[in-house]
Structure 1
Amino acid sequence: MPHSERGMVVGLFGGSFNPPHQGHALVAEIAIKRLRLDQLWWMVTPGNPLKSRNQLAPLAERLAESERVAADPRIKVTAFEQTLGTSYTANTLARVKARNPHVHFIWIMGADSLQTFHKWQKWQEIARTFPIAVIDRPGATLSFLSSKMARTFGFARVDEDDARVLWKKRAPAWTFIHGPRSGLSSTAIRNGSSHSDAE
């Protein structure tokens, strides 16, 4: 895992990044600014249990491309899940929490992932591990409220104006952050296009 100091506020931004693109970088930059992060760990996963591995580029390639895209020095590109041997986010976050008890973590996800979040293994446990920041993505601005996560944890929603102090909230706590949006999509890029309404 990347090095962090006691008391730091660290964002966790995980994904297959297949491939990484400027849309991912925009989400990371918005998170750093609005959440007042000291670091953002750009976690390149070995694979996504909900997605096919048929078109998955080698991990080393996705890491190198992520390093190129993530220019901000506060972004730490890492693939520590491979070392941990964890395949599911809930297990990864539990290990992160155990190893870094004095760091304030926030799980960061694009709003387009919110519609399927309830399909993740132990998704409610994830929501109870760290506060969550959902960053706006094209096509998801209005639909996020209908997601199972938003309905289940509606009581724990934090006003966007208080995003800078989300790290102080005890999970479950989440906020939706509006901002500039990029229509770039990893799926569309793999399919020979560059934009998608869904990602």
Structure 2
Amino acid sequence: MPHVEKGMQVGLFGGSFNPPHGGHALVAEIALRRLRLDQLWWMVTPGNPLKSSRMQAPLAERIGLSEKIAKDPRIKVTAFEAAHHVRYTADTLALIKARNPGVDFVWIMGADNLRDFHRWQRWRQIVMTFPIAVIDRPGATLSFLSSAVAKTFDYARVDEADAPRLARMKAPAWTFIHGPRSSLSSTAIRKANGGG
């Protein structure tokens, strides 16, 4: 895990990044600025239980590509989940919380993940562990209104204007952050390159 100090505000941005692209960098940049983060952990996962690993590039390759895209020195590209043999986000967040007392974390996700978020292992536990910042993505702006997580945790939604304070809030707390959007997607890039 990257080194952090007590009192820091740290964003957690996880994914398979297969491959990483400018859309991921844009989400990271928006999160750093709008949430006023001291650090953002770009967490390259060994695999996604909801996706086929058949077309997954090797972890070392995805880490290297992520490091090339993540230019801001506050972004720490890490793959500690592989070293700890962690498979599910709920377990990752529990591990981070246990190992970093006094650090204020916020989970960052693209709005395109909201549609299927209720299919994630122990998704309610994820929402109850750290505040969540949902960053707008093309075609997903309205998905947060109809998603299971938005309906279930409607009472915990925080106004976007309060995003800079989100990391210090007690979960459950979440906000939707509007901003510039990139139409890039890892799936489209793989298809264009002859992958799945």
Structure 2 residue ranges without an equivalent (≥5): none
Rounded Cα–Cα distance in structure 2 between residues aligned with 1:18 and 1:93 = 21
Q: 1:166: how far off? A: 0.5
Amino acid at match of 2:178: H
Rounded Cα–Cα distance in structure 1 between residues aligned with 2:168 and 2:100 = 16
2:84 alignment counterpart: 84
2:8 alignment counterpart: 8
Q: Per-residue CA shift, 1:31-65, capped at 9, x if unaligned?
A: 00000000000000000000001110000000000
After TM superposition, the runs of 4+ consecutive aligned structure 1 residues lying more than 4 A away are none
Q: 1:142: how far off? A: 1.3
5 Å-filtered alignment, 1:66-145, equals 66-145=66-145
Rounded Cα–Cα distance in structure 2 between residues aligned with 1:127 and 1:101 = 18
Q: 1:185: how far off? A: 0.3
Amino acid at match of 1:21: H
Q: Normalising by the residue count of structure 1, what TM-score does the alignment of the two structures yield?
A: 0.96
1:177 alignment counterpart: 177
Percent identity over paired residues: 73
CA RMSD of aligned residues (A): 0.6
- SS at 1:191 equivalent: helix
Q: Normalising by the residue count of structure 2, what TM-score does the alignment of the two structures yield?
A: 0.98
Amino acid at match of 2:85: G
Q: 1:167: how far off? A: 1.4
Rounded Cα–Cα distance in structure 1 between residues aligned with 2:74 and 2:114 = 25
- SS at 2:72 equivalent: coil
1:151 alignment counterpart: 151
Counterpart check, 1:31 vs 2:31 = yes
Q: 1:158: how far off? A: 0.2
